[in-house]
Amino acid sequence: MPDPNEERLKYLFNASAIEVPKAEEGQKRKFKGTAYAGGRVDGHWYWGRSGVVFDLDGIEIDKPTALLEEHFGSSRIGVVQAVDTSGKIDVSGDFLTNAKAQEIVQDSDDGFPFQMSMMIDPGSIEEVSQGKTVTVNGQLFEGPITIFRQNRIREFTICSTGADRNTSIKAFSGKANPNPTKEDTNVTELEQAQAKIKELEGQVNTLTEQNKQFAAAKREAEITALSKDLGKEFSAEDITEMKNLDESAFAFSAKHLRQFSATQPQKPTLPDYLTKHQAQGGQNQFNAGQPQSIADLAKARK
């Protein structure tokens, strides 16, 4: 069963800034604003950046309608007295005289940039696919796009700019776009492709690093095994050379080292020609011309 709060958040939409005109003598403080400009609204956490359009044909809005703070039903701050749905949704009304409403009025007078938001309840939802077009509110829109039909506005609310930024993943951020173009869709697709490429590059880098670590550990184990088989402790220089050999060169060198060791059981250590020390004169005939190091063995293979 879906989370009721999550379901509710799917239908909350931020609109443009709300205006709070200066007080007129003997009158309640008033407000006015455009709750919806009539075009494409994009950037929603649930409906995606392809956007949503609210069909104003037959829309139902209670008169009067409650004005809340941050969508909390217990925080009543005003009443929407008039609504104009001719191509957009313009609203106006009065603030209440309670402490919370007066606090918002005072903050607005001090320059705080409040925004208007609304909760819209669609009777049906139409998905327009890529390459298709649809006319809504006298405007032509290209898919992909989502159309809300048979709508009802259940509430209007005032949100602080800071709160909106902190919860932007749960609500629309930004104004409606009255002039949708195919370029908007292309940009969205490009951004999605770039994000996917970046994600895949990160995965490749991670796998590459893991492969390097595995290869290094494997070579360490192979060197240890070779040292044990030969009965010799390699010098740090020998170990460094062996680590730098590619897979085939190391395998070739290790194979011949083991073969040579097997033919000389009387010698528990490696022959002189496999060390870094040159024989000092009187080299026996067996040693003459033999490779002098692990690296020489690898070179001899080439």
Q: What is the pLDDT of residues 9-48, one digit of tens each?
A: 677 666 556 777 777 777 888 988 888 888 888 877 777 7
What long-range pairs does 190-197 form, CB within 8 A, spacing at least 24?
Answer: 191/49
Is residue 215 included in any domain, yes or no? yes
Quick check: bond before 144 cis, omega within 30?
yes
Question: Range of 210's domain?
Answer: 192-278+287-301
The pair of three-digit structure tokens given for residue 34, joined into one six-digit string: 């455009």
Is residue 254 included in any domain, yes or no? yes
Residue 142 vs residues 131, 186, 191: alpha-carbon distances, Å: 7, 11, 19
Is residue 187 included in any domain, yes or no? no
When comparing pLDDT for 285 and 71, which is higher?
A: 71
Chain-wide mean pLDDT for the chain?
76
Least confident of 180-184, 191-195, 234-238, 244-248: 180-184
As a whole number of angstroms, the distance between CA 267 and CA 66 comes to 98
As a whole number of angstroms, the distance between CA 93 and CA 95 comes to 7
Q: What pLDDT shows up at residue 189?
A: 65
As a whole number of angstroms, the distance between CA 43 and CA 41 comes to 7
The 3-class secondary structure across 37-73, one letter per residue, is CCCEECCECCCECCCEEECCCCCEECCCEEEEECCEE
Count of domains forming the chain: 2
As a whole number of angstroms, the distance between CA 166 and CA 161 comes to 9
Instruction: Examine the domain organization and report whether 221 and 154 are in the same domain.
Output: no
Instruction: Examine the domain organization and report whether 119 and 171 are in the same domain.
Output: yes
Q: What pLDDT shows up at residue 265?
A: 56
Angle at the Cα of 167 (from 166 to 168), degrees rounded to 5? 100
Instruction: Examine the domain organization and report whether 38 and 143 are in the same domain.
Output: yes
Q: What pLDDT shows up at residue 146?
A: 94
Instruction: Examine the domain organization and report whether 211 and 245 are in the same domain.
Output: yes
Res. 154: pLDDT tops 60:
yes
Instruction: Examine the domain organization and report whether 112 and 196 are in the same domain.
Output: no
Instruction: Examine the domain organization and report whether 242 and 203 are in the same domain.
Output: yes
Q: What pLDDT shows up at residue 126?
A: 94
215-245, pLDDT tens digit by residue? 888 898 889 998 888 888 888 888 898 888 8
Res. 2: pLDDT tops 60:
no
Instruction: Examine the domain organization and report whether 213 and 246 are in the same domain.
Output: yes
Is residue 231 included in any domain, yes or no? yes
Are 159 and 70 in contact by the 8 Å Cβ rule? The answer is yes
Res. 266: pLDDT tops 70:
no
Is residue 115 included in any domain, yes or no? yes
